[in-house]
């Protein structure tokens, strides 16, 4: 599927997936960890498939929360996604703002991201 894409794109997808799953604990929604993992994983499918994300998601049986968040809508999943994107860009004011919407979990973000990056780097592909 992504044979002509750089391996770093796959690593980004995995890092995002592990981060979104890990952050579900400190924000108090661990039962939604698998959906958050999938959200992170699917967040780069537009780049992998060279298709708009809404087209990609329209063919997949994903939760409404996931679809809304990745397509730009506002919900708790989007708050996680915004936190992730801000952290990747090192946009600290945006990290603070997004984490405030997630019950002030700003202190947990670096550990979750480090865990995610380490875990993604350990996988062979």
Token couple for 112:
């979750």
Whole-model pTM: value is 0.91
Q: How many CB atoms lie within 10 A of CB 16?
A: 25
How far does CA 35 lie from the centroid of its chain? 10
Average pLDDT on 23-44 reads 95
> Which of these ranges, 13-22, 55-64, 77-86, has the smallest mean pLDDT?
55-64
**Inter-residue contact 46 to 53 (CB < 8 Å):** yes
Q: In a 10 Å sphere around its CB, with 0-12 CB exposed, 13-18 middle and 19+ buried, how is residue 14 labelled? A: buried
* Residue that has been written with the tokens 């890990």 in this structure: 22
How far is the C-alpha of 93 from the C-alpha of 14, rounded, in Å? 25
Residue 62 pLDDT grade (very low, low, confident, very high; cuts 50, 70, 90):
very high
């Amino acid at each position: 599927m992504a044979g002509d894409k750089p391996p770093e794109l796959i690593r980004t997808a995995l890092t995002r997936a592990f981060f979104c799953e890990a952050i579900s604990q400190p924000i108090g929604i661990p039962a939604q960890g698998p959906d958050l993992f999938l959200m992170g994983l699917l967040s780069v499918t537009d780049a992998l498939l060279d298709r708009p994300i809404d087209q990609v998601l329209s063919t997949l049986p994903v939760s409404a929360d996931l679809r809304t968040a990745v397509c730009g809508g506002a919900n708790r999943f989007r708050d996680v996604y915004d936190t992730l994107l801000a952290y990747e860009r090192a946009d600290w004011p945006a990290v603070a703002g997004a984490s405030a919407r997630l019950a002030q979990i700003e202190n947990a973000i670096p550990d979750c991201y480090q865990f995610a990056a380490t875990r993604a780097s350990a996988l062979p592909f």
